Copies of this chain bind each other. A is one copy, B any other.
Amino acid sequence: MEHVFFPPLTRVAICGGTHGNEMSGVYLVRELLKKNPDQDGSLSVTPVVSNPRAIEVCRRYIDKDLNRSFVDSWLSAPITNSTPYEERRAQELNAQLGPRGSPEAMDFICDLHNTTANMGMCVITTRRDWINLHIFKYIQSKMSSVPVRAIVSNIPTSEVSFLDSVSKHGYALEIGPQPTGVLRAEIYNTMKEGVDLTLEWLQAFNSGTTFEGGEIEVYMKAKAIDYPRDPATNEITAAIHPHLQDNDFRLLRPGDPIFQTFVGESVMYEGEELYPYFINECAYYEKKIAFMLSRKTTVTLPSISVKRD
């Protein structure tokens, strides 16, 4: 079996409140900030309050979605009076935690998110990155309270606009269901466990542990489905069907009901068999996404360990 060596991963950022109304990360990072010092064994851990102004007003963002703002051309654009707040904040975070693609960038960013969808814990990574996927495998093997899944998207690196793209490795930890603006204890505890397991893995990796390879199942992002809409007003004319609601990651087959119109009619799914997720996510109404669809795929991981200089 293939074996891959990586340099030590010592500089880590835990980011919360990238979306200001996703409360688990907001409160978890505030707790981390009360701890002193940030040195934790082999790790230097930096807690980051990503979007303080959005947190203050308990909204996803002030001017635009911060977690879509890490775009090369914006990160290098001059700041003017008309620069949206989140573009300015993306430049600040890129300076603090990056710069993206540079040797000075953080080794790892764990960016904390909540969803109103019933997704349990998801490691969302835009990179088929052996470090990210090994940590996912570790978390999945250790957690029993909620299902743990990995969502991988095939976005060219140049088009990735997420905060976690600033560091050499890293992912979003997405946990739900939780309403925006609400803090639920069991979701907070789950997120804390996910962060603790991430740091535990990084410590073990740095201390020389070899992580054996093997097969894992991941969900590959396939496409987005919008709500039915009135062609005249563009308003939605249906809600997610009760049979689909809360059934993230249950295989969707042609003929399954996916929407229920406001006059009570069912709309059936047409298309190939795929796995839905982000079903009825609050923030995706404005993005015109009722749910996402994915393909389940097996990935073979190499075994990995730290490269000693």
Contact yes or no, A184 B30, CB < 8 A: no
Q: Which of A64-94 contact B (CB under 8 A)?
A: none
Number of copies of this kind of chain in the complex: 2
Judge if A203 is at the interface, Cβ distance under 8 Å.
no
Contact of A182 among B185, B188, B235, B280 (CB under 8 A): B280
Q: Point out the residues of chain B lying under 8 angstroms from A181, CB to CB.
A: 116, 180, 282-283, 285
Q: How far is the CA of A54 from the CA of B38 in the complex (A)?
A: 42
Chain A 12-39 per-residue mask, 1 if CB under 8 angstroms from chain B, else 0: 0000000000000001101100000000
Contact yes or no, B31 A239, CB < 8 A: no
Q: Dominant SS at the A interface?
A: loop
Judge if A120 is at the interface, Cβ distance under 8 Å.
no
Contact yes or no, A245 B179, CB < 8 A: no
What are 29 sample pairs from A and B whose C-beta atoms fall under 8 A apart? A27-B236, A28-B262, A31-B262, A31-B263, A59-B59, A116-B179, A116-B182, A179-B180, A179-B182, A180-B180, A180-B181, A180-B282, A181-B282, A181-B283, A181-B285, A182-B280, A183-B239, A184-B239, A184-B240, A184-B280, A185-B239, A185-B240, A185-B241, A185-B245, A185-B260, A186-B242, A186-B245, A188-B239, A189-B264
**Lowest 5 A-B CB distances belong to which pairs?**
A179-B179, A185-B239, A181-B282, A185-B260, A116-B179
Which of A's residues lie within 8 Å of B, judged by CB? Answer: 27-28, 30-31, 58-59, 116, 177-186, 188-189, 235-236, 239-242, 245, 260, 262-264, 280, 282-283, 285
